[in-house]
Structures are given as structure tokens and as C-alpha cells.
Chains A and B, each alone.
Chain A
């Protein structure tokens, strides 16, 4: 079986560690006693070696895999303390909520893994909702959503998008929404959102609800190319400037030129024709010369 070489490695390390321990006392203190390793092996045997994706050379950091009921793969990283199992291990995973496991000196890795599976199940609705959005719309931000990301910026049209923040605890409720784009396009959408908000149906998915409430069809990878939404900034000629994407748009409907906030600010702040009040700069669009504003 696949774990035999790990057992050999453990035995070998034990001998090595004892030697090192005899030679240098300070290092000796951070090295767990031999029982630590036998405990670890027996716990792994109960859990199943097939769950182990990785273990570091100190035998302290483990990566365990877990699959939720929808077939999504997850990884639980466990950092064992030298006094394991008396001391609780440090755990981390790619989740939208902080991990909060209960641990007693009698707890085992197997129990930890079961607790993790329960957490995954509690987030299943949240991920189902986001997976549907990710597969059926064009996501502008984040570039590569991770399992812990709760926000999505969804393309609606050229330079028009909606940023939604889904609550992992109540994923089916109306998410926090922010419409981005030129005023003349965004205002009617905002009015629809406000007028139809009462129609939000928690039994339906967020994507379906958004479609019904905004009365729109989202462009999807099946119908549109992404390049039609990733219009570059009119100042730096690129789409991504560090992590930012162009989110300032000229309010004149005939212009509609997008800019990165940083680029537009850099241009407007040096112009005598711009004026600033608190954190809003008013100035002319470098393309059409119409007065526009920037926050």
C-alpha cells in the first residue's frame, strides 16, 4: 500500500531526530517525542491514507482532501502542534467563513475531517449559487474566483456590470448589489432593482432572481465573447492596471469611454479646469470634453 514508504520515512526520521537531538539541545526542544509519530500514524490509518494529499518533511503540516456532496474538491490544511493531540492543531481552508473546530485532547484527525465535511455541507448552497453564476455569466472580478470569494462582478453589457456580494450564511437572500457604469444605463437598472426587490424568491437561485428583478438577460460565455466587456482604459490602453479594471465611465451616452480610476484621477488632478470637493473630482472627459465626475 501507498503509505508503507511514509511509515518507513517516519521510522527513519525518528532515528535521525534522536541523533540530532543528542547533538544539539536547542533544536531538540522543538522536536516532538516519538509517541507523536505513532499517534499520527494511527490517526491517519483511521482516517484513511487516501485522504492525505501532502505531508511535509517535519511531519507537522498535512493537507487532507475532502469532497462535498456536489463533487467539489476541497483541501484542509492541518498544522499539528508538537504536543499533539493535547494541543489543538491549526487548521485552514479556502472557505468564505473562518474555521471553528472543536478540539479536545481525545480528538483525532478523523473527527476533524468529519467536522470539515459538515462545514462544507453547510456552505453547499452558497457554492451552488456561485457556481451557477460563474458558469452562466461573464465574471469581470475576481479574475479567478476562489472558494472563499463572496463577491462577483458580473458583466451586463459594455461597461455595465453589477457587483454582488453573497452572504455565505444566507446565500439565497438578496445579496448586496452595486451597479457600475454610466449613469444613463445604470439608473434604469437601479430603478428596476428597487421596484422589483419584493419579488426576490429565496427558493430560486440568485442568478434567476437577478434576471427577474433587473428584467435582463446576462450575457453568457455561450452567447458572447469576453473581449466585448473587457474594454481597455482610454488613458493607459490596458484592461488591468495592477489588479484594477476600468470602472470609471464617461457619463455622456455618446462617449461612454472607460478609464481606470487611478489613470483618470492622475490626469484630472493636474488640470486647472478640474475642481475637487472632498473626495470627488469634477473634470472634463479627455475624450469628449464633456464635464464628468469621478469619485
Chain B
């Protein structure tokens, strides 16, 4: 009951006063299915990239947090290969810190902050996390490389519009491929779930 009125207001605010570097919109006419984009922050290895996210709004929202996942592959200690994000605000208490005073806009801002400042002590990707801690240069290079490969819009000119969709599909397939390949050894390493 509260979900509809609240989302209506949130979408209105997101369209009139979006947080810096963030866009969020409704996909088709479904109120529970949103899409967002976060611009990679300056001075981070994600600079120059545009990261797409998928937001599923549960029936009991805002009493339950939205389910948010990266669609664009991202090399980050707290984001796994299928795009899942380890952020306490995305989980209900007592494990998490979701509360109805947060909203989609503030959550997206927290994700933007998490991108700039990973939290290696609560890692989802143990390998990336230890790399972030002990081989920072190597981490930064890889993260930048992933950004260039998956998150940079290649504006090639006239045909751009037509190419956009297949491009995204290719990216998505690629991500799934990486994810399948690594899924097996990931399971044991995850501490943040």
C-alpha cells in the first residue's frame, strides 16, 4: 500500500533533483522495476565509465530495502561477478542497516561512495579485496581496465543508437561468462552475504 505512493514521490524527486552523477528511471510502466546509472567518480579507477544498475522494488518497500544489482561488470572488492553489492544499507536489521528513512536516491549515493571507497574488511570478492589491500597499484590497473572494457560508452558516430542495444547484450553475456567461470571458487570465499 505504501509502496505506490512512496515510489511515485521518489521518482518525481529523482527526475527533478537527481543526486550528482546519478540517474534513475522506471522501465516501461512497471513501478517495481527501475534502472539506474552511476557515473564513475573522478579520481577513482571507474572514472570515465557509466555503470548501469537494476533495481527491484519489493512489495513491502519501504519496510524492506530495494534489491540493487550492477548490470555493468565492475572490478570491486564489494561487488561480485553477478553484480551483487555488499552494502549494509541494502540489508534489513539486525544484520543490515536498512531503514525507511533511506530511499533509492540515498542508496544509490551510498553505492557511488562505496565505488570510491571500497570496504576491504567486509569483502564479497576475497581476491580483489586482498589485492586492494596489499597490491593497490595492481588493483587500480585492473579496475581501470575493466572500466575501459565494459563501462565506457564508445561513441563511434552515426550508427551509435543502433549499436547500443547489441553492445549491452554482449557486455551482459561477457559478464555471465566471467561469472560462471569464477562461480565455483567464489562460493567458499564469500564472507559478506
Contacts and interface: CB of A to CB of B under 8 A. Distances in A.
A286 B6 contact: no
B66 to A, nearest CB: 14
A235 B93 contact: no
Given A236-B62, A241-B2, A267 B94 contact: no
Contacts of B101: 234, 257, 286-287
Contacts of A223: none
B93 A263 contact: no
B9 A270 contact: no
Contact of A272 (B1, B10, B63, B93): B93
Interface in B1-15: 1-2, 5-6, 9-10
Given A271-B93, A272-B94, A235 B5 contact: no
A270 B64 CA distance: 10
Interface residues of B, number: 14
Q: Is the interface of A mostly helix, strand, loop or mixed?
A: loop
B100 A267 contact: yes
B145 interface: no
Nearest to A233: B2
A263 B99 CA distance: 12
Contacts, number: 40
A273 B6 CA distance: 25
A238 interface: yes
Given A234-B100, A235-B2, A286-B100, A267 B63 contact: yes
Contacts of A270: 63, 92
Nearest to A289: B99
A54 interface: no
A119 to B, nearest CB: 41
Interface of A: 234-238, 241, 257, 263, 266-267, 270-273, 286-287
19 contacts: A234-B100, A234-B101, A236-B6, A236-B62, A237-B6, A237-B9, A238-B5, A238-B6, A241-B1, A257-B101, A266-B2, A266-B63, A270-B92, A271-B93, A272-B94, A286-B99, A286-B100, A286-B101, A287-B101
